[in-house]
């Protein structure tokens, strides 16, 4: 198979696939037609071509595979397109619970509740129904409580290659430090050159609440739905979340 034919075939498969395609899956499809090296080279070529021409879509590596996705900066236009179904956002309590599971997994429900200080039964069921959290085993203690962890759908929802791509505690601390600096900045002095006495002041700093981001990549328009993605919030606890 010629390189341009292989590239076109890979692009077509990525377009019709609703989920990320792994290299192993692609290698199985083209087993008799192309070598693994050729497949990887054409994937890199597609990524480069989309980037060089400023295309509306990009080939992103997510959840252990590759998927066509719309560019984050175009999300506003996609949101206006009423025909695209936008999934409901996760609530702040759900995001906090999901963050604890993501960073501390495997973890039991009781351990999550000890961190959050509230009952999370309903929240955990909701996260499992959305396939963001799953049961990964039982803890070897009396009663053998279930332990929970994140899923491939979790990685896909947040556009992460793997769990190592999660923001570190240091990054959260730097973000919080930046917000504190913004809050402490004094207002700009009155502009004496303006006869009407008007003055300019600094834009107020963020209130620190986490909201769903409009800058995360969404699935390509060929997929059945576009995720309205929110970043994971920092988890404030007395114990440090490991990096």
Position 63 scores a pLDDT of 81
DSSP state of 55: -
CATH number, domain of 29, equals: 1.10.10.10
Question: Helix crossing, 109-116 with 121-129: angle to 10°?
Answer: 120
Position 182 scores a pLDDT of 56
Is the residue at 195 inside a domain? Answer: no
Classify residue 65 as exposed, middle or buried by CB count within 10 Å of its CB (0-12, 13-18, 19+).
buried
Same structural domain for residues 98 and 149?
yes
Is the residue at 161 inside a domain? Answer: yes
DSSP state of 74: G
Position 201 scores a pLDDT of 37
Same structural domain for residues 137 and 45?
no
CA atoms 122, 213, 60, 13: torsion sign? positive
- pLDDT tens column, 138-170: 998 888 899 999 998 888 888 887 888 888 877
Position 71 scores a pLDDT of 87
Which structure tokens are listed for 141? 């203690």
Do residues 218 and 227 make contact, with C-beta atoms less than 8 angstroms apart?
A: yes
Domain range for 115: 89-183+202-213+223-243
Position 179 scores a pLDDT of 60
Segments of the chain scoring below 70 in pLDDT: 82-88, 172, 175-243
Position 181 scores a pLDDT of 57
Same structural domain for residues 123 and 242?
yes
């Amino acid at each position: 198979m010629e390189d341009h034919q292989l590239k076109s075939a890979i692009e077509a498969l990525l377009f019709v696939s609703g989920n990320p395609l792994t290299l192993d899956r692609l290698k199985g499809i083209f087993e008799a037609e192309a070598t693994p090296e050729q497949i990887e080279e054409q994937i890199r070529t597609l990524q480069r071509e989309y980037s060089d021409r400023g295309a509306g879509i990009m080939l992103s590596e997510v959840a252990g595979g590759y998927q066509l996705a719309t560019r984050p900066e175009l999300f506003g236009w996609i949101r206006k397109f009423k025909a695209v179904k936008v999934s409901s956002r996760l609530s702040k309590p759900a995001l906090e619970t999901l963050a604890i599971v993501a960073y501390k997994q495997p973890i039991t429900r009781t351990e999550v509740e000890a961190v959050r200080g509230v009952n999370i039964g309903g929240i955990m069921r909701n996260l499992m129904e959305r396939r963001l959290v799953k049961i990964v085993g039982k803890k070897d203690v009396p009663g053998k409580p279930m332990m929970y962890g994140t899923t491939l759908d979790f990685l896909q929802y947040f556009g992460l290659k793997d769990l190592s791509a999660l923001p570190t505690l240091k990054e959260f601390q730097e973000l919080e430090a930046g917000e504190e600096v913004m809050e402490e900045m004094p207002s700009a002095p009155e502009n004496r050159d303006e006869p009407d006495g008007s003055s300019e002041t600094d834009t107020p700093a963020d209130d620190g609440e986490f909201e769903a981001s409009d800058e995360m990549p969404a699935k390509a328009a060929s997929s059945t739905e576009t995720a309205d993605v929110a970043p994971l919030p920092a988890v404030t606890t007395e114990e440090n979340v490991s990096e």
